[in-house]
Chain A
Amino acid sequence: MAISLTVNGTTHTVDVDEATPLLWVLRDVLDLKGSKYGCGSGLCGACTVHINGVATRSCVTPVAGVGDSAVTTIEGISQNPIGQKVQEAWLEIDVAQCGYCQAGQIMSATALLEKTPKPTDADIDMHMSGNICRCATYNRIRTAIKAAAGEPVKKEA
């Protein structure tokens, strides 16, 4: 069925079954490959997007439920000043190893900083523990979030 969807400020009409997860519409219909498939069950966070600013697992979000909410993906997050800061911090700290989960990490980190501009370690633990990094770049993700929050960066070693 034809479904209207607003992604990164652009409205699209897609012809898919209404139960199709948003993730697969983004990836295979709209060709936005930045949101990643990791678990298909909302367990790993690789597919995280924002829906009306709220970090959401797109792999378990039926496309028909999105309605006229604004979807933001990693491809559009630099339009958000906080998102841009997060991306810059990720580059500055050289966070990624394989990089596959990092789009989801950046989306979750941006949502965290929007609500909590100066997060503590406990805030970071709470808000980032839904995003798995199999390469375990967690030390650097923590540093990058703090850098994006404007805190001084401590040398690693």
Chain B
Amino acid sequence: MNFDHTASRRSFLKASAATGGGLLLSFKLAPLGSADATTGEAALSAFIRVSPDGIVTIAAKNPEIGQGIKTSLPMIIAEELDVDWKDVRVETADVDAEKFGVQSAGGSTSIPRNWDNMRRVGAAGRQMLVATAAKALRVPESELTTASGKVIHAASGRSLTYGALADRAAKEKAPDLAKVTLKDPKTFKIVGVATKDVDGPSIVHGKPLYGIDVSVPGMLYATYEKCPVFGGTVKSCNLDDVKNVPGVKHAFVVQGTIPPGEVGLNVGLSGGVAIVADTWWQASVARRTLRIEWNLPDSATQSSQGFAARAAQLAKQTPEVSIRKDGDVDAAFKGAAKIIEASYSYPFLSHATMEPQNSTAHFKDGKLEIWTPTQNPANGSAIITRTLGLAAKDVTIHMVRAGGGFGRRSSPDAMLEASWIAKEVGVPVKLVWTREDDMRHDCYRPGGFHNFKAGLDAQGKLIALSDHFVSYGKNGQFASMAMMGSSTFPAEFVPNLSLGTSLMPLGTPTGPLRAPGSNALAFVFQSFLDEVAHASGRDPLDFHLDLLAERRIATAAPAAGGAPVFKPERMSAALKLVAEKAGWGKRSLPKGTALGLAYYFSHQGYVAHVAEVTVAANAPVAINKIWVVADVGGHIVNPSGAVNQVQGAVLDGVGQILGQEITIAKGGVVEGNFDTFPLLRMRQAPPVEVHFLKSEANPTGLGEPALPPTLPAIANAVFAASGQRIRDVPLNKVFRSGAAA
């Protein structure tokens, strides 16, 4: 799998953020190369190898977690290289920032960060082949064209295959990436064509692909028992009993390196007990004999119930911290013709990737090698080198396909634990968490409490809105992903607006879950705005189109590399189209069946939903169908993968609203498996109809932005169908949701 074995000429890619959008590229040119003696393959760059028979191997630079990036980034290179997709093979790249730039999966950034530079990488390869052909055919480059892996001289009817040219092309001076000629997008043959996942055949035949499938000769298997409360350490335990269990090779206490009072999966190694055995099952059996007395941190008294009670107290007070103030909300409320007030809440959520956290590590002769399904190898490398006292050059990380990410695998905890254990035992070790480990030692989507007030004028226009957000954090700093930004919609679209927060200290780690921040804020704001729309006596669609039509407060100039500016006209267009597709206001629906709409701008994507639900007495809420319109720029790189991502993100939201809730008690997490934390099942999954609205902008990412509108669209439809407003999720707080496992 090592991509670089045959690469003898190296290009160094450095992508740096440029002001005004887009990326500036710089390649450092490296010595010239020639074809690999055994395979005959020639490397045109770190990304592209060409074999004499014309098979092109392209490196997929970013982690594959189910978002399809292993297929879509190579598609972009292949497009500009001008080869047929059937001749392309894809390999996962090594982790090497000098050659591949940032290698991570997160924030739906892989496409927007790499769209331009992958095109240029492909175009540079093409240019090297054209230059080589010009010399071979003794014609000017301007007379040459390319198609399907060939350089063609139309005037003389001659052509040369890339396979025949590659060895010589690899010795060409590498072009300046900033100056390569890109295709006219109108001529694209691969980008924009539905393309199947490159790992599909391996997936359906059960080939070993995932982190949990990694096998290294001489490998032992590990389990790791940690304190149910984050930051707890081992006081005492019965290691001798554990060591007597058949198959157990090592059992030892790890003190851990979590600094007291610090919370998060990036702050250090959690203390616990490691058990290493011949097989994972033996290690698991031995684990049942463990009896541990823990040193518990102060947070062992925390509970979801306690947080809810404290949040209710805080809601009565003035927010501790102001996030945004426009106009004068108090004066506007006094003068309002109508006031609407409501409080909302949402729970902690676990990522629950199907493949539990795992990593395989081997420490030998002062060097560490790791195979791991990570979303962020650089983050893992940083904490491993720091914790184990190794130099970065002595840590090699191999990215392995992940059985789901959703943000969970941005945290390096399993990688760090495996590395520590491997260093202790000196042989390769595969650490596999149980489902219960995975659910109880996550970095959770933080819960939150919102207390809204809105004022309408006599014409039903929204003139003032305030939110006191009770969240988690300390010293005025939000806990990870427990934030609310100052541009949270409808900020800038309401003349008098106030957003403020009060924070509760939290001992449980939190972190990014698919569309972090937005996945919660969309629910509360889009639900409350639907309440406001109904209170105004207007159709929600008309209300929202009016709201979006006028920016009341000038938007702050974006900082370089800062948050993208929201363009309401793109949102309105998506909303209008989804309303049309769903037959909003045009269809007559039976009693108890109704539509709800919601929209959200996140991760640079503009997404609008309409949900149709049926609410009947003594039956679970039925979600009949969801229509989605997404504007993620002017190109959909892989329409097959894109539809799949949107459907998945929407159904992820359906699962959340039906029954997902993580409960904290005695500082630890109660739920441990899918019986108590139900994931969506086939019988609950409605059809999701997806449409893309192609704007002129460069393409942006799609792993996340389709999730946030899902919950409020459903909740708003439930209100329209039943008159019952959903202010606390999951739905089963009010309705039967049919979410039980």
Interface residues of A (CB under 8 A from B): 16-17, 20-21, 24, 28-29, 31-41, 43-44, 46, 73-75, 78, 87, 90-91, 94, 96-103, 106, 124-126, 128-142, 156-157
Given contacts A94-B196, A134-B354, contact A102 B204 (CB under 8 A): yes
Q: Which A residues lie within 8 Å of B208 (CB)?
A: 33-34
Q: Mark B431-459, 1 if CB is under 8 A from A, else 0.
A: 01011000000000000000000000000
The answer to the question of B339 belonging to the interface, with a C-beta cut-off of 8 Å to chain A, is: no
Is A98 within 8 A of B280, CB to CB? no
Q: Mark B679-693, 1 if CB is under 8 A from A, else 0.
A: 111111101111100
Could you say which of B196, B405, B687 contacts A139, with CB atoms under 8 Å apart? B687
Supply 11 A–B pairs (Cβ within 8 Å), ascending by A.
Answer: A34-B206, A41-B673, A75-B205, A94-B200, A97-B648, A98-B402, A100-B353, A130-B681, A136-B647, A140-B644, A156-B643
Q: Which residue of B lies closest to A97 (CB)?
A: B66
Report the contact-size class of chain B (Cβ under 8 Å from the partner): 35 or more
The answer to the question of B484 belonging to the interface, with a C-beta cut-off of 8 Å to chain A, is: no
For chain B, residues 609 to 660, give those with C-beta under 8 angstroms from any C-beta of chain A.
640-641, 643-645, 647-648, 650-652, 654-655
Is A90 within 8 A of B204, CB to CB? yes
The segment from B12-20, B86-94, B113-121, B210-218 found at the interface with A is: B210-218
Q: Which residue of A lies closest to B690 (CB)?
A: A157
Is A39 within 8 A of B435, CB to CB? yes
Is B403 within 8 A of A128, CB to CB? no
Q: Mark B41-76, 1 if CB is under 8 A from A, else 0.
A: 000000000000000000000000111100000000
The answer to the question of B194 belonging to the interface, with a C-beta cut-off of 8 Å to chain A, is: yes
Q: Which residue of A lies closest to B651 (CB)?
A: A136
Given contacts A24-B279, A40-B435, A98-B354, contact A124 B682 (CB under 8 A): yes
Could you say which of A29, A39, A98, A139 contacts B404, with CB atoms under 8 Å apart? A98
Q: Which B residues lie within 8 Å of A141 (CB)?
A: 682
Is A136 within 8 A of B680, CB to CB? yes
Could you say which of B197, B281, B645, B690 contacts A96, with CB atoms under 8 Å apart? B197
Interface residues of B (CB under 8 A from A): 65-68, 194, 196-197, 199-201, 203-210, 212-213, 215, 221, 246, 279-282, 285, 352-356, 401-406, 432, 434-435, 640-641, 643-645, 647-648, 650-652, 654-655, 673-675, 679-685, 687-691, 741
Q: Which residue of A lies closest to B194 (CB)?
A: A94
Given contacts A99-B209, A100-B403, contact A134 B352 (CB under 8 A): yes
Q: Which residue of A lies closest to B209 (CB)?
A: A99
User: How far is B67's CA from A14's CA once the two chains are assembled, in angstroms?
Assistant: 38
Q: Which A residues lie within 8 Å of B679 (CB)?
A: 44, 132, 134
Q: Which A residues lie within 8 Å of B196 (CB)?
A: 91, 94
Could you say which of B199, B285, B652, B682 contacts A128, with CB atoms under 8 Å apart? B682
User: How far is B209's CA from A74's CA once the two chains are assembled, in angstroms?
Assistant: 14
Given A28-B279, A40-B435, A129-B681; 13 other pairs, CB 8 A cutoff: A16-B279, A16-B281, A24-B281, A33-B208, A36-B212, A37-B356, A96-B204, A97-B648, A99-B199, A99-B403, A100-B404, A126-B683, A134-B354
Is B435 within 8 A of A38, CB to CB? yes
Given contacts A24-B281, A36-B403, A75-B205, contact A94 B683 (CB under 8 A): no
Q: Which A residues lie within 8 Å of B682 (CB)?
A: 124-125, 128-129, 131, 138, 141-142
Total of A-B residue pairs, C-beta within 8 Å: 190
Is A37 within 8 A of B432, CB to CB? yes
Q: Which A residues lie within 8 Å of B403 (CB)?
A: 36, 98-101
Is B66 within 8 A of A99, CB to CB? yes
Given contacts A20-B281, A134-B353, A134-B404, contact A100 B210 (CB under 8 A): yes
Could you say which of B197, B246, B434 contacts A94, with CB atoms under 8 Å apart? B197
Is A36 within 8 A of B205, CB to CB? no
Is A17 within 8 A of B246, CB to CB? yes
Could you say which of A20, A35, A138, A140 contacts B680, with CB atoms under 8 Å apart? A138
Is A140 within 8 A of B212, CB to CB? no
Q: Which A residues lie within 8 Å of B741 (CB)?
A: 43
Q: Which residue of A lies closest to B680 (CB)?
A: A136
Is A37 within 8 A of B212, CB to CB? yes
Return A23 CB to nearest CB of chain B, in Å.
9
Could you say which of B204, B209, B280 contacts A24, with CB atoms under 8 Å apart? B280
Return B442 CB to nearest CB of chain A, in Å.
13
Q: Which residue of A lies closest to B647 (CB)?
A: A139
Given contacts A20-B281, A99-B66, A129-B682, contact A94 B674 (CB under 8 A): no
Return B683 CB to nearest CB of chain A, in Å.
4
User: How far is B643's CA from A91's CA once the two chains are assembled, in angstroms?
Assistant: 15
Q: Which A residues lie within 8 Å of B209 (CB)?
A: 99
Is B213 within 8 A of A33, CB to CB? yes
Q: Which A residues lie within 8 Å of B355 (CB)?
A: 36, 38, 98, 100
Return B377 CB to nearest CB of chain A, in Å.
18
Is A35 within 8 A of B404, CB to CB? no
Is A138 within 8 A of B206, CB to CB? no
Q: Which B residues lie within 8 Å of A90 (CB)?
A: 200, 203-204
Given contacts A129-B683, A134-B679, contact A106 B647 (CB under 8 A): no
Q: Which B residues lie within 8 Å of A128 (CB)?
A: 682
Is B203 within 8 A of A96, CB to CB? yes
User: How far is B210's CA from A35's CA once the two chains are assembled, in angstroms?
Assistant: 12
